[in-house]
Copies of this chain bind each other. A is one copy, B any other.
């Protein structure tokens, strides 16, 4: 895996108000957390990789756990965010997509790109969320308040148009998320294997979900 560059996925304003050392610490921490897990990574190791003194870490992050939170939170927010803010979301809410298939395509391509940019942090989130109650709450809140209401709207729209079956929203959502995450995880895990043709698998997954929900 290539070393992380924070500028790839932290908002510009945020980055500008961050110190260079702080950034290097975050980048180093993401790299090593993803590789060895949070608990198995020592602050000493992070300091060395970030080329700072161990004490410097604690100037920017009160504790090691704080450092973890600083890594997880923005990505958690950005995982959910598109559903409320970006081009994609606005488009959907203006019902610019006529078909569920178009919607799926945009959703999947968008989240796949995001996942590939944020592989390391996503790994960390998947590993650590089960043990970080605070982050679990954050995730639940984001899901409930930011994501679910918008998605409910969209899905209801397609149900009403008769493009997908009249199942409970939470069931539809589960089946979609499950399939998309399966695709994402497979892509990350298998991306080096020759038989894996990403575009083909994306297309097949779209068809699978679409038909499955008909």
Contact = CB atoms under 8 A, between A and B. Distances in A.
Interface of A: 36-37, 39-40, 123, 127, 130-131, 167-168, 170-171, 174-175, 177-179, 181-183, 186, 195, 201, 204-205, 207-209, 211-214
Contacts of A174: 182-183, 186, 201
A40 B131 contact: yes
B170 A175 contact: no
A106 B107 CA distance: 32
User: How many identical subunits does the complex contain?
Assistant: 4
11 contacts: A37-B131, A167-B204, A168-B195, A171-B204, A174-B186, A174-B201, A175-B182, A178-B178, A179-B179, A182-B182, A211-B214
Given A178-B182, A211-B214, A201 B123 contact: no
Q: Which 7 A-B pairs have the closest CB atoms?
A: A178-B182, A212-B212, A208-B212, A39-B39, A211-B212, A175-B208, A211-B211
Contacts of A130: 37, 123, 127
Given A37-B39, A123-B130, 15 more contacts: A36-B131, A37-B130, A39-B39, A39-B40, A171-B201, A174-B183, A174-B201, A175-B179, A175-B182, A175-B205, A177-B182, A178-B186, A179-B179, A208-B212, A209-B212
A155 to B, nearest CB: 14
Nearest to A37: B131
Contacts of A205: 175
A178, A183, A204 pick with most chain B CB within 10 angstroms: A178
Contacts of A212: 207-209, 211-212
A181 B185 CA distance: 12
A195 B178 CA distance: 18
A119 to B, nearest CB: 12
Contacts of A127: 127, 130
A131, A204, A214 pick with most chain B CB within 10 angstroms: A204
Contact of A179 (B39, B168, B182, B204): B182
